[in-house]
Every structure is written in C-alpha cells, then in structure tokens.
Amino acid sequence: MPVQKLKDFLDSQKVKYTTSSHSMAFTASEVAASAHVSGKEMAKTVMVKVDGKLAMVVLPAPEFVSMELLRDVTNADEVELATERDFKDQFPDCEIGAMPPFGNLYDLETYVDASLTEDKEIAFNAGTHTEIIKMAYEDFHDLVQPKVVQLAFEV
C-alpha cells in the first residue's frame, strides 16, 4: 500500500491515480522494467542539497541530474547530491530511496525536469520498493507546484 500520507493527500484532492505492485526493485530503471512502465514516464526522485538545504529533483528514470544546470537555475553557490544520512529522517514513512516526488508533503523545494511535462502520465515510487503510483502529469503538477526546469541529461 502506498505511503498513507501520500494516499490521504491524493484522495483528499480527489485525484485519480492507480497503484500497482511489482517485484522488489531499487533503481528507477529496474522499477520501470518490473512495473512495465516506460523509462521516460517513470520518474525518479533524487535528493540534493542546494546551498546546504535539502531539495528534491524529479526526472525520467534513464536520466541524470546536471549539477551545473541545477546550480544555474537555482542561482546557488553550491549544489551537491545528498547522502542517505542527509535525508533519511525527512521521510519517516518511506523506505529509503523510494520517496514519492511530492516535496510539498515534506517541506522541500521540488524541481522537475521539463522532459517529464511531455507525457500525459507520470509513474513514481509510492514510498516502497514494491509499489508505484500512476497519475496524470497535469494533476501531479497542480498538486506539487514544482519548478519546471531543464536539468537532466542521458549518458
């Protein structure tokens, strides 16, 4: 079952979404394959520190965060990946690494790569390594109010 905090929030906003279970998977690409979701639609959450403050970056599974682009769009002096130690207590209701991309529920600034806006649907971890939620990208955007920026690249 998805994290109760997220489920309650989505239900209170009367948003349509689906949940599905999949075999245990840890990377966003593994989750996408296990859940039979396009890697382009599967959003992964990457935790970063922007001038020492935790923030959430959301991008398609096969892509990576450009720290240089993130630094530019945030006008920050320093941007770096956060360690699990930095953020594990921020998400007490989630398995580490399976946080849903709802920074607004955890008092975090949220940045979404512009490429995710091109799809009608978005899929993401539901707080566990065995479940995802799928919903309309438009609903996600309306609820989270992320800053949409170009900050990802593929290898």
Number of other residues whose CB lies within 10 A of the CB of residue 138: 12
**What pLDDT score does 20 carry?**
87
Residue length of the chain: 155
Q: How many domains does the chain have?
A: 1
Local structure of 104: helix, strand or coil: helix
Between CA 41 and CA 35 the distance in angstroms is 11
Looking at residue 62, which CATH number applies to its domain? 3.90.960.10
Residue 24's pLDDT is what? 73
Assigned token pair, 112: 């979404």
What lies within 8 Å, CB to CB, of 143 at 6+ separation is 9, 10, 13, 15, 102, 104
Question: Which residue range(s) make up the domain with 91?
Answer: 4-154
Q: pTM for the whole thing?
A: 0.90
Task: Report the distance separating Cα 123 and Cα 45, nearest Å.
Answer: 11
What integer pLDDT is reported at residue 155 of this predicted model?
A: 65
Judge whether residue 1 has pLDDT over 70. no
pLDDT tens per residue, range 43-97: 999 999 999 999 999 999 999 999 999 999 999 999 999 999 999 899 999 998 8
Please state, for a pLDDT cut of 70, what percent of the chain lies above it. Answer: 89
Asked if 144 contacts 106 with a C-beta cutoff of 8 angstroms, the reply is: no
